[in-house]
Every structure is written in structure tokens, then in C-alpha cells.
Amino acid sequence: MDNSLLIKSVSKFRGKVQVLNDVDLTVAPGERLALLGHNGAGKSTLIKTILGLTAIDQGSIRICGAAPGTSVARQTTAFLPESVSFHPALTGREQLTLFARLSGFPADVPGLLERVGLSDALDRRIGTYSKGMRQRLGLAQVLLGKPKLALLDEPTSGLDPISRQDLYTIIDELAAQGTAVLIASHALTEVEARTDRIAILRKGIKVADNTLSALSAEADLPTHLRITAHSDQIDQLAQQVGGKRVNGASFEITCSADQKMAELRHIAALGDAIVDISMTPPRLEDLYRYYSREDRQ
């Protein structure tokens, strides 16, 4: 199937600063892509170019074949801005009804608000909402009219852990109905488990774009093994396997992914002296640090 979002060698300057540098990105229908990067890496700018709010200097962007900002593109795209607020004098129902009328799709407004957990606050003014409730209202408007592409800018900011879970459940449902979902985020641990692919931007340059496992393999980051042993033998054991003592009862070995099994066998052969082993594979945070490092080319 064609990609819902197709970005080809897009560049954008703000004055003399290049905020996007030859960025390629695609999102297929039903795919969940996490877009990661520091503050000012160009995530929000990239989303604005997809929405047609900011002109690009080079390259092309197509949303289901349509150019950004065209009425076809706007009809197929849903957007959740970062920490959005609405007019405090309106109620949640009135605000969502307005969005439904603007989108041109008939919508079950109370049903949508119930789905994001706002059914109690339906007729309360938005001025009385908490930050998390406003974020949920923003999410409710994303669900209007079954979008083909959903752009979510920091969707979990201001949400409590339970709400975050709910949010990712809704994102999964969106993806299941064929919506391409692009999530710009800082919350690495959540993104790790709930997205299909990860792209990392650094200073406007895309430095990584692959599945988590492929990125791990490519980065070849060390796995940490922590071995707990009887304290009287610990120095000797550490020396024997080439580990580094971390406290009175344990020492640590770092090894690459392909040496992991060999190390484990080696340690297992030490017999009763070993009490426990815990293993930490590289996490997204490590990968992120690796790919967004300044000196890496």
C-alpha cells in the first residue's frame, strides 16, 4: 500500500539556521512511528511543514498523495499540538462540536468524550479543566472522522501514568483502523514499547530510522551483566572473568550482544560461588544517547 506520509529530502531554513536538513521520512498506514530528538531538533518544525503551516525550502511532502495545506491533506490529517489549550469559556462538548462541524464529518461528540474519559466534564467549561483533561480533549478531536494520518506532538505531556496507558491504547486503536500515527516525544520508555519504528532527529538531520531491534544491532551497544557472589570471593572472581567490582557483593561485566552467551557460560562454569545474575540489554535511552551524540557521523 502507498505511504500515508511521504517526506522526501526536505530542508528548511530559519534565517541562516538550517532547522531541517535533507530529511526523508515515511509512515505507512497503520504504522506507529516515534519521532525523537532534543528540544530544538526540528520535531515540531517538521510537523508544521507536514501541516502546511510552514513553507519548506527544498524537497517534497505528500499526505496520501496531496500537498501539505491543501484541503484534501487537511481533511485526512488529524493533529494534536503540544500542550494545547482551548477557549476557557466553552465547554468540552461545545469545543468538540465546533471541531466536528469544521471537519465536516458527523460525529458522536458525547461518545468521543466518553472514550477519552471526559464524560463527567462534558458540560463544564474548559477553563475549569486540568492540563491532563485539556490534553484528553485534544485527543478526542484527533479521533474525529477517522483520519488517515495522525500527528501527535508530545501527546503524553501533563498526563498521569494511567492516562498515558489510556492514550497509548487509543493510539493502538487508531493504528488498527489503518491510521498512520507519528508521535513526537521525549518520553522514551513509553515510546519504546508502543511504537513500530523509531526515527531520531538531531539538529535537523535524521540520524536514525529503523525498528528498535535493528537500531540496537546497528549501534552494537554493550549489555551489562551484574553478578552477585559471596563477598569473600568477589575480588578473585571479578579478576577471573575480567569484571569490575561495584559493591561488596557484586561486580559488573560489559560485553557486546554476540559475546553475551559466551560470558554467561563462562560465569555459569564458576559454580556455587555465583549467587545471582541480572542482565541489562541496551535500552532506548542508551540508543537515543548513542544516535544523538554530537561527534557521531
Partner 1 sequence: MTPRTLAIAQTELLILRRNRWLFMATLIMVLFALALTFAGSAPTGSLGVDMLTVSVASMTTLSVYLAPLLALMMSFDAISGDVDRGSLSLLLSYPPNRGEILLGKFLSHLAALSFAMVIGFGTAGALAAWSGGAGVDSLLALARLIATSILLGAVFIALGYTVSSLAGSSTAAAGMSAALWLVFVVLFDLGLLGAVVMDQGGTFTQSIFPWLMVANPADAFRVWNIAASDAVAITSGMTGAASALPGWAAPVSLLIWPIIGLTLAYISFGRVEP
Q: Give the footprint of partner 1 on this chain (CB under 8 A).
A: 48, 51, 53-54, 71, 74-75, 77-87, 89-90, 94, 98-99, 101-104, 125, 138, 141
Min separation Cβ 71 and partner 1, Å: 6
Min separation Cβ 287 and partner 1, Å: 30
Tell me the β-bridge partners of 184: 35, 153
- Closer residue to partner 1 (CB): 3 or 91: 91
Task: Compute the radius of gyration of the chain from its Cα atoms.
Answer: 24
- Closer residue to partner 1 (CB): 87 or 296: 87
The CB density around residue 228, as the number of other CB atoms within 10 Å, is 16
- Closer residue to partner 1 (CB): 101 or 230: 101
Min separation Cβ 5 and partner 1, Å: 14
Distance (Å, whole) CA 109 – CA 122:
9
Min separation Cβ 100 and partner 1, Å: 9
For residue 256, the Cα-to-chain-centroid distance in whole angstroms is: 26
Min separation Cβ 99 and partner 1, Å: 7
- Closer residue to partner 1 (CB): 82 or 196: 82
- Phi/psi-derived region of residue 204, left when phi > 0, alpha when psi is between -120 and 50, beta in every other case: left
- Closer residue to partner 1 (CB): 141 or 216: 141
